[in-house]
Each structure stands twice: as structure tokens, then as C-alpha cells.
Structure 1
Amino acid sequence: MSVVIKTIWAGLFISFTPMILFIFIPRLLYGVELINSIYISWCVLIIPLTFTYLLITKRLFDIDFILRRILMTVTIAFIPSLIIVALIGIFFADQTNISDLLLSFIGILILITFVLYSLERFGKMLESVIFPRKYYFNKSLRKISQHLVSLSNVQEMKGIILLDLINTLEVFGAAIVFTNGEWVEEICEGDIDAEKVKKMVISGSCDHSDYTCFPVNRHEEYSSYLIFTRKKNDTLFSAEEKQWLHLIISYLAVSLENVFLIRKLTMKLEQLAARFPNEEVANEFVWFRKLMFELQEKERLRIAADLHNSTMPEMARLKGELEIMQQYAVSEEAACDMRSVILKIDDIHSQLSQSFSQLHPQLTDGAGLVQTLQQYIDKERASAAFELAYSAEQPAIIDKCCLETKKHIFRMVQEMIGNAKEHSRASKVGIQLIAIDQYIVLLYEDDGVGFEQKRMLEEEAGSPFKGMKQIRTRVLHLNGDMKLETSAGAGVKIRITLPGAAT
């Protein structure tokens, strides 16, 4: 734009400078022209030539829009200017003539055209003063739309989108609810009853005295709703607020659709990753496996962060409040009930801590793999229905492997113990890590019910084979080797050999 403006000013200067220097100034001072105006007036052609140049070079790309806008404002200003000049001619007929009225018409037309043309710009400048609510809504809309662009999962809406909506509309709380008829998932922020909202969506009735419900998406696969509590000043949503909300919902619908498709695609990719028939085919999809593992780790870290930053501190705060209330209990029975609740909170907090350590193992913070696995297995041993043994040979060499290998070994051990708990019915489970030359060997053995290896291709939900396929996929990703020995009633033996003991 600056180049365009400079070019136009240069054209104006070149066009009118000769006329000023050789015609107007000499006539004003001496009454004669230095150069005949017939020749100098040709310089005026520089102006249209300048615009022609800008159009050809595609710099003045919006000149047609500007000209149409000027024509529109001139057309609108024409009739008011004509009426004003007619009134002047009627009331001051003795003091005016045709030339004066014509000049007045041109001046008034230019003035009204300028005012109309500048009205939009001045309106934007004064919008915050004249229409403060509209300005605030537009500002919030820009902010929310920017946040929606970067969303990749539903949980990110909690602290960003919902919080902005609550502050803008001045409500107590808000929620986004998903359902496909079989499951319901809700994301709540502020003072809102999640269970009540959930029941309202399940029942299919969005009419409630305490909540206002807006449908966002309605598809065969899922439906979503945006739900608000009553406003803090106990008034209904105004027409302006509803109009703004419908605009937000149209933005939100697109983002939720993208999030749903990402989730659906991720599930299909996981199923595809588990169906690689052999190492030769799987080696062609190294990039695919790496992407899947990165997505899984990212999601685990997000859930761990939610636990650490919101759920666990809230549990600790609730426990502290109950301990204070226990000191001032009106009876021994009430104090006993509070102690029972505090013990339950401690138990829940302990389970959350265990979940946090599984989602975010200490090895990502620099701890060794051997020690991290020892701590994890010690915690699992307390809740396992079987005897769980663990040992590591050459731990110093094992801990020298790269962080990526450590993460995959940790996740493989998690899958093994999880499968043993759910499906093995074993009385003894053993896990062993060994460093041999430049290889790390992971051994697993149990005396459980085992299974027929040909059933590994089955896809039943909750089957032990999904975990086995995840383990095999991780082994292939690390260019390792996995040997499985099992049959019905004969337990399970797994030997995994991974290269690269050194970093």
C-alpha cells in the first residue's frame, strides 16, 4: 500500500508541477504564461498513465472496489444534496443565482459523499464507545476463533473456549457434551452440575429451568451440545447475545467435527498398526508407527497434566477442608464419618498418583529405566492377584540406552502386566531385563491359561491380543525381535531382543 501511495503522489507531482511553475505562478506575478498552456496541459495525462501502470502491474488490485464504493456514495448523496440546494434556492431566491447554486450543489455533494465514504471507518473507530457490547462481542469472537484454529482435542476447550464464553456472557458455568446414544462425554467449566447436564442430554430433553441448551452438531455418529447456566444477573440471553452465540456455534461446529474426525482417524490408525502381518510389511511403515507412538505419548502427557494440575490439587484441598471440619465436629459420630471420608480420599489420591506415574514415568525426567520399572512394579505388586517378580542384570548398561528405547520398554512392561491382570489367571509372573553385548533382552513368563497363537488375528474389544499387537508393533519400531511361546493352558513366555544398549 505504501508503494501505491508513493507512486500516485509522484504522478500527481509530475503532472501538476509544470503547470504551476510555467502557467499559474507566471500569470499570477507577470500576467503571462512562460510556456503555452496547450503544451503543458499534456502533463495531466501522467495521472491516468500512473493508474494504468498500477493496474497492469496488479498493484492497485482493489481500485474497482474503491470506484464502485465512491459511485455508490455519490448516488446516495445526490438526492439529499439536490434537496438542500433546492431549499436554499427557494428560501434565498433573491440572493442566489444559478452559478452559486451549482457550486453549492457540487460542494454539498462532495461533503456528503466524503461523510458517507468515511462513515464505516469512523464507525469502527467509535464502536467501542457507541456500541460497547457489540465491540466486546466482536473482540471475544476474534479471540475464540483464534483459539479454535489450534484445537486438536476436546479437553483443550475446557480452559480456553469455555472460560472465554463464561466471561463474555457472564454466566456461572458452561459445558460441551458429546453423545452417540451409547456413551456421553462432558467437558465442564465453572459452577455447573456435570451429572445433571449429562442426564439432561441422555434423556433427550434440553428444556431446563436452570440451563440453556444450544445444539452444535447432530449426526448419525454423534451429537454435541453447548449448555450454559443462568446468567449472574439472573436475566435471559438477549437477542444480541443469542445472535453472537449462533455465530460462535457455527465456528465451534466445524472445530468439533475436526476433533471428532481426528479421534476417529487415530482409532483407525491404531487398528491398522496392529494388522501388519509381518516384519517386511511393517518396515515400510516406520513413519506411521513413529507417528502413532508420538500421538499416544502426547495424549498420555495431556491426561497426566490434567491429573497433576487440577484433579490431585482439588483432592488435597478437599482433604484439608475436611480435616479442619473434623476438629469442630458436633459429635463423635460425625467426626468418625469425616475420618472415613478422609481415608477414602487418601485412597483415591493414591490411585491417582499411581495413574500419574504410569502415564508420566520418571524416566522422562532423567531417572533410570531399571529404577523406574522397580518403582512401578512395586506399586503393581500390591494390587496384583499373583506373585510378581522382577530383576535386572547389568543395570548400568541398560540405563545407557536412548530415551526412546526406555519409553518403549516401559510401555511394553505396562502392557504385559495389564494383560496378566486381566486375562492370564496366573499365580506367578516374572519379568527380567538383561544387557547382552549390544542388546537388551526383555523376558516375560507366567503360568496362566495362555492362548492359541492363531487367535492373535482376532479383533475382539478387550481381548489380550490387542496388547500383544501393541508390544509387537513397538518391537518392530525399534528393529528388534520378539519370540512368543504359548498355548492353551501352558502359560505365556515372551523373549524380546532390542538392539542399541549404548546411547
Structure 2
Amino acid sequence: MLVLIPFGLVYQFVANKMFDIEFILGRMRYYTLLAIIPTLLTVGALVWFDLVGIQMNPARQTVFIFVVMFSVFYFKEVIDFKFRLKRFSEKFNYQDSIFKYTQLMRSVTSLQQVFKELKNTILDVLLVSKAYTFEIAPDHKVIYLDKQVKEPDWQLYEKEFENVTSEIGKIIEVNQGFLMKVGERGGSSYVLLCLSNINTPRLTRDEISWLKTLSFYTSVSMENVMQIEELMEHLKDLKQEGTNPIWLKKLMFAIEEKQRSDLARDLHDSVLQDLISLKRQCELFLADFKKDDDPCREEVQDKLVQMNEQMSDVISMTRETCHELRPQLLYDLGLVKALSKLVAQQQERVPFHIRLNTGRFTASLDLDSQLNLYRIIQEFLSNAVKHSQATEVLIMLISIQNKIVLHYEDDGVGFDQEKTNEHSMSMGLSGIKERVRALDGRLRIETSEGKGFKADIEMEL
């Protein structure tokens, strides 16, 4: 069995590459067919008229000329492929024109540009001399869109305009050209009218297939451009109103969390590792220094011990900062475990007692919602340290049926709610309100001077 393994691997490799081999062999047969006929004609002419003065028998002449012809055809196709976007468009060059058109569509930003590139492509390839764009309203009213160009006598094709709107890519031929539906929007259809100065022959099967492909590409490009235009208009309206939609707030907070995560990773991988290395070097130097007999040894030793302790504090603070920027426990074990660790860490350095109750929280939330709730509680605790002067803090996180309730309460100094704007800025409440909006929740605050601070947040699952 082991002997068959190498043969199996070789077979799989060859089988995966067979398509390329077949393609190459097919192209070689194609070039051979193209080269053999002109080779035979050239050799026959040379032998017949005895035009070659060098001593070369017909067999060698045939091989030499065949190789030259084969190489010419091969390199001609390679050059055509490489410069298909840089050369001038050619009549009836369907494949390259499609590729060129799709590349141009990547940079368009308006419907006018879409129609302009479509018309230029059709005029370059087909035997038509003019192209016009029209919009056909749901009530069959025809609206001419190319205001900068003289309006054609489209009334001659009024019946065809009504019939062409049934589907994208529908083509109806007329005496000097054709009509083609290239897109639609909200019940309105967009139609291209292509005309020639002379009576053009009927469209061939290849031309119809090419035009249908163009129309489908155009329809997709129009849809993308129109959605971008609608989005930009919506953002302008929101900017004028001065409010941001919930989806935009979620996106902004997601970007913020990504930046926090990147910063935490950079701190952990660079600064923290350098500090740990420096601390170890200091400990090794201190161990060696204790062995020396020097009258100033005790003084220097005390300074080294002090530096070592300071580095330990900096390492601890850096680790805590990394955790605050990116709470790894939340990513690994969820919100409840992350909150328990957050409260335990805060309890070690704050002057008040913190009670955390998450026993009735069993909801399953997405990562963004968990991060927002974590940041809200983090901000409440930060405000309590900076402003509340409290002795007791209570945090409750509960899930009831299809609702989540976060309750925060402290017995601190509180503030006057009539000065909400001033305190919102100083206490970070504006950031909490923005996160609550991103969660599509409701925030209720109860507080007054000297009577503590309460906040309830409710959000639907």
C-alpha cells in the first residue's frame, strides 16, 4: 500500500493540471492549423518560382517557415491580450470590448457616466453612428435623458418603446438600428436607442449575445451606482439633522473596538515584553551585585530594588491596560466572566464596595452587544471612582424573557438633573448614551444632589 502512495500523489497532481495541459495542447493545434496553410503556399511559391538563392531543400524550407509562422501567430495573440486595454477599439471585437467595458465600470460614480461608457462601447464596435438614452416611466411616458444632445425623432418608434420594457436585455430592431433595455428603477425602465445614418443589416446572433451581456453588466452597474447615490443622500440628510443612525453608531463602535484590540496587541507584543526583559536583567544584576564588597553597595542596592519594584508596577499597569483595551476573557468565556474579573480588579484599588449580580443573566448576545454592555459598566465604574464619592456600588444584569436590564446604583453625591448637559460631558454619560443607542435600548437616570445615582438600561433581544 505504501508503494502506491507516490503514484497516487502523482496522479492527483497530473489530474489537477490536466485542464492546463489540454488548454495548451489545444492552442498549439490551433496555431499549427493557422500556420500550416500559409507555410505550404509560401514553400510552393518559392519552389515554383525558384526565388530562394540559398541552398536549402524544400523540407527544411517548410520547417523553417512553419516555425516562423507559428511564432508570429503565437506572439500576435500574446501582444493582443497584453495591450487589449491600450489599443484602439476595433469593429466587431466583442470579447475585448466586454473586458474593457467591465474595467471602465469599476470607476463610474453616476448614471450619466454609466450611459456614456455604454454608448461609447457600442459605437466603437457596431455599425451604428448615434446612441441615445431614454427613461420610460410606469405610465409609459418617454423621457429623453441626453439633454446636451439634440433630441432624435423617437416618436417613429413609440410602439417599440412600449414593447421593449418587458425585461433587461430585450432588443427590438428598427429600420435604422435597434432599441435595448439596459436597466430599471422603481418601475421606470432605461432604454438605449441606437441608430445609423444608413440602413444597417439585421443584428447577427453574436451581436445580439454581446448586446445582452452588455445590458446585464450595465444593469448591475446602475444598481450599484444608484444605491451609492441613495446612501450619500441619506448621509447628507442625517448630517443636516445632526443625528446618526443606529447602524452607523454600531459601525463606529466596532471600529473603535478594533483599534483598541490592535493597540492592546501592540502593547503586549512590544512594550510589555521589553519591560519584562529589562526587569529580568535588573534582577540578575541585583543578584550579582549582592556578592560584591563595596562600601556604597547598600545605597546602590536600595536604588536597584526600588527600580525593580517600579518596573513591576509598570508591568502590572501595562497588563491591566491591555486587558481594558481588549478584554480577552470576554472573547473566550463571555460577558459574565469578563464582568466578574473587571469587578475583582476594580475592587482591589477603589475605596468603595462593589456588588455584582449576574445570576439571572442567561441571554445569548452577539459579540458587539457584549462589548457595548462591558464598556457601559466600565464607564459607570470609572465615573464612580472619579465623581461619586460613594461607599457602595450595585450592578445588576438581568435577562427577562426577550428583554435585558442593566441596573447601576451608588450612594454617592449625585448631581442636579437640570444641569444634565454639563454633567454628561464631565461624567462620560454622553458616551454611555451613545452606546445605549447603538444597542437600540432605553436609558433612564434618577439622581439629585446628595442622594446618589441610579441608571436603568433596557434593551430588546
Q: TM-score, structure 1 length as denominator?
A: 0.44
